[in-house]
Every structure is written in C-alpha cells, then in structure tokens.
Amino acid sequence: MTMLSDADRNRAADLLMQAEETRTPVLQLSKTWPDIGFEDAYAIQAEVTARKVAAGARVIGHKVGLTSKAMQRSSQIDEPDYGHLLDDMLVADGATVRHADYCIPRVELELAFVLGTTLEGPGVGLLDVLRATEYVVPSIEIIDARVQNPRKIFDTIADNGAAAGIVLGGHPVGAHDIDLRWVGGAMYRNTDIEETGVAIGVLGHPAMGIAWLANKLGAHGVGLEPGHIVLSGSFVRPVWAEPGDTLRADFGELGVVSIGFE
C-alpha cells in the first residue's frame, strides 16, 4: 500500500488551510493524490489541527460522522469517521453567523455527549460511554466542505470530517435519565420542516458512535477527556443554509437549538 510522503501530506494541509481562509474549496485531494488512503487522510487532518492549536486554538472534543448505514453506503465505507472540534467552532444558541465565513455551509442535528470522566479504548462499550458521560445536550453541527465535489471519503476525513461549527442548546439530560435511542428531532429552515429523524438511526444507539471513537483513538494512545464534547453523528440528512435563513432544530422535550445565517 503506497502512502503519501510527509511533504505531500504537508502540501495537502496547506491547501486545506488556504481553502478555509479564502472560503474557496480546493480540488479534491483524491484527484491530486490518487494514492491517498485512510492513514494519509487522518494524518493530514491531524497536521491541520496541530497547526491551528499552535496558532492558539484549543481542542474541545471530536465529532463522529457517517454513523448511519445510508451515509456509509453512499461513501462506500463500512465504519464511521471522525474530526476534531476546536474552541473557535463554538457558536452561541440563537446567534447569527456570516454565511460568507464558510465555503458551502450545511447543518445537521445531533446529540452532543459531554464527558465527565476519561474514556479510552480498547474495549469501550455502550455502558462505559453512558457511565463516563456527564450529560447529553441537543446540538446543531455546521458542516462545510473545503474540498470540491464530488468528494471521496479520504477528502472528507482530511478536511476534518467537514466540521465547521457547533451550537449547543435545549435541555441537558443525564445519559441514564431517558432512552437516548428514541430522542427525535425536526430540522426547520425558516418555517418549513426539512428533515426529521430519531437517534436510534445512529448505529442503533447514539452512544455507540462515542464507543467507536474511543476505541479508534485508543489504538493510537489517545483518550477522550473530561469536559470534552463529542458529537455522536447526525440522524437527519444535512440541510443547506443560505444567507437570511434561520435553522431551528426541535428536539421535543429536550428543547430547541437555533442558528441564523446572514
């Protein structure tokens, strides 16, 4: 299996940083480097994250993506992927962000797990995740593509799993207080319901995405830390966000999270 050189990985990281700065998606990395593999993609993601941390950003957690069978089939893979969450991605519930600050923003609706204790694989299961979780809170994830369409899975992973923003809101609940599988959500764009879903669509239980991540990172000696936010994966399809739109995720008893674009 050919792997990209460090020089190529650094060049790819340069391109992604440039795309984010100029708000202009770059040519697919999978076209520039047809030999790119999973290890390369995660190494490029790690390089971009390390550069941002060196510039003053702070890692506050992770996102898990491609947690539904439909999304995995469309990406032709058989496991989820992940990205890093940084403190500058946090957006206040109800805030308005500039559409021009993103390349092509979309939003997803998911449950965020906030950890109370460290979670490190291997061998992490559903109950371990529930035990380590301080609370679960509704969220909207803003996703963005710094790489042109059509993207391969390697492009998305290198591009930090498309992570671009996190909005937390609604009512935090204890992981044992409700059956998290049956949390439902409806995503409104302005007054129209665009998507609806139920959290059981995420690997049968939203905590399973967190378990997968803990085991995946544990293989590299990395643990999920207390206070970290982990987005467990969307249970609806992404909804486009245009200037002037208000996106509102209604989680029923768990409350509402919203964000506006100008």
| DSSP state, residue 180 | G
Domain boundaries, the chain: 59-261
User: Do the strands 90-91 and 163-168 form a parallel or antiparallel pair, or are they unpaired?
Assistant: parallel
Structure confidence at residue 1 (pLDDT): 66
The one-letter code for the residue type at 74 is S
- Mean pLDDT taken over the chain: 95
pTM (2 d.p.): 0.95
Per-residue pLDDT tens for 224-261?
999 999 999 999 999 999 999 999 999 999 999 999 99
Q: To the nearest 10°, report the CA torsion of 33, 38, 41, 45.
A: 180
Cβ distance 112 to 232 under 8 Å? yes
* Residue with more model confidence, 79 or 174: 174
Q: Does position 99 have pLDDT exceeding 70, yes or no?
A: yes
* Dihedrals phi, psi of 65, to nearest 5 degrees: -125, 170
Residue 210 CA to residue 233 CA, distance in Å, equals 9
Secondary-structure class of domain 59-261 per CATH: alpha beta
**Residue whose entry in the numeric block shows the structure tokens 């467990």:** 232
Structure confidence at residue 78 (pLDDT): 77
Q: 176 by DSSP, 3-state: which?
A: coil
Per cent of the chain over pLDDT 70 is 98
Structure confidence at residue 77 (pLDDT): 72
Which among 14, 41, 15 has a CA at the least distance from the CA of 26?
15
Structure confidence at residue 71 (pLDDT): 67
Per-residue pLDDT tens for 39-61?
999 999 999 999 999 999 999 99
Cβ distance 240 to 200 under 8 Å? no
Cβ distance 105 to 143 under 8 Å? yes
Per cent of the chain over pLDDT 90 is 92
| Interval 160-186 mean pLDDT | 97
